[in-house]
Amino acid sequence: MGRPEGVLLDIDGVLTVDWQPLPGAVAALRRLHADGLPYVLLTNTTSRTRQSVAETLAAAGFPVTAESVLTAPAATAARLAGSRCLLLNSGDIRADLADVELVDDPAEAEVVLIGGGGPEFDYPALNRAFTALQGGARLVAMHRNAYWRTADGLRLDGGAFVAGLEYAAGARAEVLGKPAEAFFTGALERLAVGAGEALMVGDDIESDVLAAQRYGITGVLVRTGKAAAGAPRRGDGDPDHVLDSVADLPELLSRLRRE
């Protein structure tokens, strides 16, 4: 890669777990900020609005504003503006979906929109989604993460239900968050840097790291979150760099900028 001019960072499992900062994460992001290296937080989180994410991180000491956060729901709203969507998601993100018309009746749905997994994914809800797909609605996923890490271990995420609906309805989901190319491209445009000048730092080897590498972005895997010891490994390929945690990122960036 060329000289690093911008950094994309995942949040959950990289900067925080259960929204509590991981050791050294606040200091690492403050170092990037002090060095004038632009960054954007690129997250598939669908349980909170972009504003809520930024406020929570700022309260924990991270130098973050809503403008430095790009979420899958925000990308979804831009892509599906004006569409009638049957939403299945855990968490209230309606503020970020203001341009999308949310409906409850499967017969009215143009799109079945799947977000993050949780208790809302019961049989009646999944069957309403299946009914809408049978009626001709498109299947769209904000992401297809299989699981995420909490303080109590790994938890099943929405990607498992996306796969089930694909199988049952004979559909193929369009994914709008990571690992979609447009999501990474949007982040690069926000930073005003090219793919060869950017790093993506994540704990998901497939959706964060290998996906970024496919689009020419340098991939950095951190051994926290999904990639912590004992977690299953998903993805067929190797990261460009592996760090014990995001606390080691400033040192890596310093080295790369000297080369």
* pLDDT at 229 (0 to 100): 65
pLDDT value at residue 1 = 67
Buried b (16+ CB within 10 A) or exposed e, 10-34: bbbbbbbbebebbebbbebbebbee
Q: How far apart are CA 115 and CA 57, in angstroms?
A: 21
How many whole angstroms separate alpha carbon 229 and alpha carbon 208?
18
H-type helices in 68-202, by residue range? 72-79, 123-134, 159-169, 181-191
The pLDDT value given to residue 234: 61
pLDDT for 118 equals: 94
Query: Which pLDDT score is estimated for 233?
Result: 56
What digits encode the pLDDT tens for the residues 182-228? 999 999 999 999 999 999 999 999 999 999 999 999 999 999 998 88
pLDDT of residue 230: 57
Point out the residues of the chain with pLDDT beneath 70: 1-2, 229-235
**Alpha helical stretches, state H, the chain:** 25-34, 50-59, 72-79, 123-134, 159-169, 181-191, 211-214, 249-258
From 148, 157, 161, select the one nearest 19 (Cα to Cα): 148
What angle, rounded to 10 degrees, do the helices at 25-34 and 249-258 form? 30
